[in-house]
Amino acid sequence: MRFRLLLIALLIPFVSFASLNITVNAGSYDRTNCVIRADVSTMNLRCNNDVRLFETTSGRNIEIPCQVYLDGDTAELVFVLSGNTAKGQQRTFTAKKIKAKGAEPKMAAIDDNGAVLLEKEGNKVLKYNYYINKSPKGVDKLFDRGGYIHPAYTPSGFTLTAIQPRDHRHHYGIWNPWTLLEFEGKTYDCWNLGSGQGTVRPVNVEAVYEGDVFAGFNAALDHVVFAPEGERIIMREIWKVKVYDVDGGYLWDFESNLTPGDSPVILKEYRYAGLGFRANEVWTKRNTEMVSSEGLTRQQIDNTSGRWLYTNGGTGDGDTYAGLLYMSNPQNYNHPEPMRIWNEQQNGNRGDVYMNFVPTKNMDWNLEPHKTYVLKYRFFAYDGKMTPEKAETIWRDFGVPPTVTVK
């Protein structure tokens, strides 16, 4: 069942402009199927599904799929700069208020038994679990957890993630706890659930989105510590996740918005914390390779910093491969971000795969009360193998995007 009530609220037609012109300059780099966001806030654009976008090329107007995204007071028109765009090239577009077609959206958000399932043309991309996952029989209930992404898929359907593996029951696919926090003079651990010091709990799904360009959701989570006087909620977090309609793989953004309550929170320096990825257990040192943006490989990456990191791994089905590219945004705290990965000796020399950007790996991060702190990441899930050259191209679209002018 789709989240119809929320979608109705997000798509009520109302705009106060007849048209607007958008110019995209590729800048210093070649672009391929690049996601574009045009800020149209000054046009007093409200939630709508009645804007159509046209590109002017060779004297013709060609319609381009577009979608409106509202975030607080900001309204963005989102579309894909399709095909190849050479560095320095400009492309021009016109957005017009024209009744949108009533077709079923290509990118869908579906309520799936306690989870939000994001799909591209009927194919599963990822699932956000907002229910509390119960631990297996014989495992302490401290390891019960909700608010994580699993499964995350490649286009062929290969599952990239794993949850509650026996060697680390507190690992949950793609998840975002903090390991060493200071709150009101005491330190707590919300990562290692077995410590009994804290956890992260899903609160609700605030909004979902679907259309011809992206599908996604906003979800609220509470970071909870088990203080001597009882449970305390020390931070509210909002996840904003969007999956885009691009070719060659599944491209999706993850944004974390952390807001402490009445007391400050210090995310203390620690070797692992933040947004972690635990891979399918079929991935070991025998069938994987890992590369960072600095040209380092698996045995070298840990304790270095970078902009992106990927793993290519065998799927267990003959000689086929799949992988995940994990990217950090230059706006993030302590970017280029320190990285925590497992080397080939992990888990009794199995060499299971774990990747983690850790902004607090070599310094504290002081979060003041009622202020919001944002971390942005992008993922690209693919079949086959990634190369450093392709990874750099994909990251540039995220880290150094084209210039967009709206008039």
- Out of 79, 103, 127, a domain closes at 103
Tell me what pLDDT residue 41 has: 81
C-alpha pair distances (Å), 330 with each of 251, 254, 334, 340: 18, 14, 9, 18
Whether 77 and 171 share a structural domain: no
Whether 42 and 65 share a structural domain: yes
> What's the average model confidence in pLDDT over 367-377?
99
- Out of 80, 103, 126, a domain closes at 103
Whether 251 and 165 share a structural domain: yes
**376-395, pLDDT tens digit by residue?**
999 999 999 999 999 999 99
Cα distance between residue 15 and residue 50, in whole Å: 8
Give the domain range for residue 38.
4-103
The answer as to whether 405 is a domain residue is no
Tell me what pLDDT residue 260 has: 99
pTM for the structure as a whole: 0.94
**42-64, pLDDT tens digit by residue?**
766 565 567 899 999 888 999 99
Cα 124–222–370 angle (5° rounding)? 120
Pair 98, 32: CB distance under 8 Å: no
**271-311, pLDDT tens digit by residue?**
999 999 999 999 999 999 999 999 999 999 999 999 999 99
**176-189, pLDDT tens digit by residue?**
999 999 999 999 99
CATH number for position 236: 2.70.98
Beta bridge partners of 326: 309, 379
Whether 311 and 390 share a structural domain: yes
The answer as to whether 406 is a domain residue is no
- How many helices (H) and strands (E) the chain has is answered by 4, 29
pLDDT over 80 (residue 351): yes
DSSP H helices, 291-405, are 298-301, 346-349, 388-399
Collapsed DSSP state (helix, strand, coil) of residue 362: coil
Cα distance between residue 214 and residue 69, in whole Å: 9
User: Average pLDDT of the chain?
Assistant: 94
State residue 143 phi and psi, 5-degree precision: -85, 0
The answer as to whether 403 is a domain residue is no
Cα distance between residue 88 and residue 24, in whole Å: 10
Tell me what pLDDT residue 15 has: 39
Tell me what pLDDT residue 46 has: 62
Which uninterrupted H or E stretch holds 203? Answer: strand 198-209
Nearest to 381 by CA among 210, 156, 110, 122: 156
Whether 330 and 374 share a structural domain: yes
